[in-house]
Amino acid sequence: MYYYLAFSLITVWLTVLGWYDCCYRRLPNYLTLSGAAVFLVLRWALYGTGALLDGLAGGVIGGAFLLLPFLMRGAGAGDVKMFFAVGCLAGKFAVFPIMIMATLFGLLLGAAMIIKGKLDGSRLKHFFKCCCCIHYDREEGRKNLPPKNSEAVRLPFGVAIAAATWCGLLYNAIARG
C-alpha cells in the first residue's frame, strides 16, 4: 500500500521536473535538492544508516555521471542535481540502469526534436566535423553556429532523466512482484 503511494508521489515529482525543464529549460533547486534531501531522510528513517549511505553513494554516482558533460558545458547544473536526487532515490546499484536508459531516452528525445525542427543540430555536426575531417575549416564553421545560450541548441535532458527514472522504478516494482 505504501509503495503505491510513494510511487505516485515520485511520479508527480518527476512529472513536475520534466514539465519544468521542457517549458523553461531549468530544473529549480527547490525541486531537485529538496527531493534528494527527502529521499535520504526517508531512507534513513525507514531502513537505517546502511540505506542512507547506499542512497548517498547512488547520489554521488548519479551526479558524477553528468559531471564531465557539465564541465564541458554539455549539461546544465540542474541536470547534475536532478541525477544526484535520482541516485539518492534509487541507490548505488539501481542508478546504473537508469543512467543507461536516460542516455538512450536523451538520444531519442534529441533525434525527435531535430526531426520536428525544435533542436538545431549544427553544433553537434560542427563538433564531429572538427574531430573527423582533416580539411574542415573550423573558423568558417564556427561563424555559422547559433549562440550557445539559444533555446534551439538546448535539450531538456530532465525529461529523459524523469522518463528513465520512472521506467526504472516501474521495472523494480514489477520485478519485486
Q: Are 83 and 65 in contact (CB under 8 A)?
A: yes
Q: Are 126 and 145 in contact (CB under 8 A)?
A: yes
Q: Which residues have CB under 8 Å from 40's CB, separation 6+?
A: 52, 55, 56, 59, 88
Q: Which residues have CB under 8 Å from 18's CB, separation 6+?
A: 156, 158, 159, 162, 163
Grid cell of 32 as nine digits: 531537485
Give the pLDDT of residue 177. Answer: 66
Grid cell of 165 as nine digits: 527514472
Per DSSP, helices labelled H in the chain are: 2-24, 29-47, 49-65, 67-71, 77-90, 95-115, 122-132, 138-143, 157-176
Rounded distance, CA 133 to CA 23, Å? Answer: 36
Grid cell of 24 as nine digits: 523553461
Grid cell of 96 as nine digits: 546504473
Give the pLDDT of residue 151. Answer: 67
**If the chain, 177 residues long, is cut into consecutive pieces of 10 residues, what is the mean pLDDT of each piece?**
82 96 93 96 95 97 92 88 97 95 95 87 78 83 76 84 95 80
Rounded distance, CA 63 to CA 82, Å? Answer: 8
Q: Are 160 and 106 in contact (CB under 8 A)?
A: yes
70 CA to centre of own chain: 11
